[in-house]
Amino acid sequence: MFLPKDPFNVIIGGVGGQGNVLASQILGETLVAQGYVITIGETYGASQRGGSVMSHLRISAKNPFSPLIPEGQGDLLVALEPVEGLRILAPYGNPNIMTLLNTRPIHPIEVISGDADYPEVSKVIATIKDLSSRIWTLNATEIALEMGDSIFSNIVMLGALSSIQVLPIDRQTFQSVIKELLPSRTIEENMSAFDRGRAEVEEVTKNKPVSSRGGGEN
């Protein structure tokens, strides 16, 4: 598979604690193993959870690019949380951007404390759909919790990413990369998280609206 565009710009965004940085690293290593030149910029501050985090991946066949994607130039958005997806589209989206979305919300403390409202998830998905050329969804957090720990949700998302065929990620390269990066006792579980993401992601189209499973809870 070759790049639809050079550089091809991917943004992975979510909430601190969702494994954003690890997901971008695994994706980057998978692509470097196939000969691409990758630059990744991470937007994270202290180690605390709870804030918005975002990784920018620039994928090129030949050159390093700056670790920040210029505004309006995202090509693929991987959103680990619904409103975080929309937050990122505002500066980085464009009519050609494609979005892969985890539909499970994480409430900010502003919402928990009642100072702000969390919008209806179906509304967020519909808005993101309007702002994207294609959109795929799944409830990666729910799948991870079914597997016993929400920690797997980023790997579920990478599995989903491999199945939508936008980027060249094959199962075998992914497996060899996580063998380098993650403790060996977790490899099997991570591979099944990857496979469940592959199996359960669905494209949202006119005739196939958001399924109840994909719709998440609010």
Partner 1 sequence: MSSISQNAPGKVALLMGNEAIARGALEAGVKVCAAYPGNPSSEIIGTLAGVADEMGLHVEWSVNEKVALEVAAAASLAGLRGLCAMKQNGLNVASDFLLNLNLTGTRGGLVVVVADDPAGVSSSNEEDSRIFAKLGDLPLLEPATIQEAKEMTREAFSLSEKLGLPVMIRSVTRVSHARGNVSLDELPQSGPKPGFDLSQPRCAFPALPNHRLLHERFQRAKEMSEESPFNFYRGPERPDLVVITSGSGYLYSLEAAINLKIEERVGILKLGMTWPLPEAFVLGYLREAGNFLFIEEVDPFLENNVKELFAQNCFDIGVKRFHGKADGMVPDVGELNPEIVTAAMENLLNVRHLPRPENYSRIAREAAAGLVPARALGFCAGCPHRATYWAIKLALALDGRNGFVLGDIGCYSLGMGPSGFAQMKTLHAMGSGVGLACGFGQLERFGLEQPVVAVCGDSTFYHAAIPALINARYNGANFLLLLLDNNATAMTGFQPHPGTGLTATGDKTPVIDLRAICEVFGASVEVVDPFDVESTVEMILRMIRTEKGVHPVRNPNCCNLELSETSNQKMEKGEIISNGVKVLILRRECALVSAKRQKKLFRIEVDQERCLGEACGCNRLCTRIFKCPGLMWDQATGRARIDEAICTGCGVCTEICPASAIRKEAA
Q: Which of residues 103-142 bind partner 1 (CB under 8 A)?
A: 104, 106-114, 116-119, 123-124, 127, 130-131, 141
Query: Does 5 interact with partner 1 (rule: CB under 8 A)?
Result: no
Half-sphere exposure of 44 (CA within 13 A, CB side): 24
Helix (H, G, I), strand (E, B) or coil at 67: coil
Closest CA to 118 of 83, 81, 78: 83
CB count, 10 Å around CB of 2?
A: 8
User: Whose Cβ is closer to partner 1: residue 2's or residue 90's?
Assistant: 90
Using CB under 8 A, which of the segments 68-76, 164-172, 192-200, 206-214 binds partner 1? Answer: 68-76
Using CB under 8 A, which of the segments 91-99, 160-168, 194-202, 203-211 binds partner 1? Answer: 91-99
How many angstroms separate the CA atoms of 41 and 58, rounded? 9
Q: What is the nearest approach in angstroms of partner 1 to the Cβ of residue 206?
A: 19
Query: Does 89 interact with partner 1 (rule: CB under 8 A)?
Result: yes
Query: Does 34 interact with partner 1 (rule: CB under 8 A)?
Result: no
Q: Binding string, 182-201, against partner 1, x = CB under 8 A? A: --------------------
How many angstroms separate the CA atoms of 22 and 27, rounded? 9
Pairing of strands 8-15, 76-79: parallel
Q: Which of residues 155-174 bind partner 1 (CB under 8 A)?
A: none
Closest CA to 108 of 165, 38, 52, 181: 52
Q: Are 112 and 187 in contact (CB under 8 A)?
A: no
Report phi then psi at 157, rounded to 5. -65, -35
User: Whose Cβ is closer to partner 1: residue 11's or residue 144's?
Assistant: 144
Q: What is the nearest approach in angstroms of partner 1 to the Cβ of residue 159?
A: 18
Using CB under 8 A, which of the segments 32-40, 163-171, 194-202, 207-215 binds partner 1? Answer: 32-40
Query: Does 3 interact with partner 1 (rule: CB under 8 A)?
Result: no
Using CB under 8 A, which of the segments 13-21, 160-168, 195-203, 208-216 binds partner 1? Answer: 13-21
- Helix (H), strand (E) counts: the chain: 9, 7
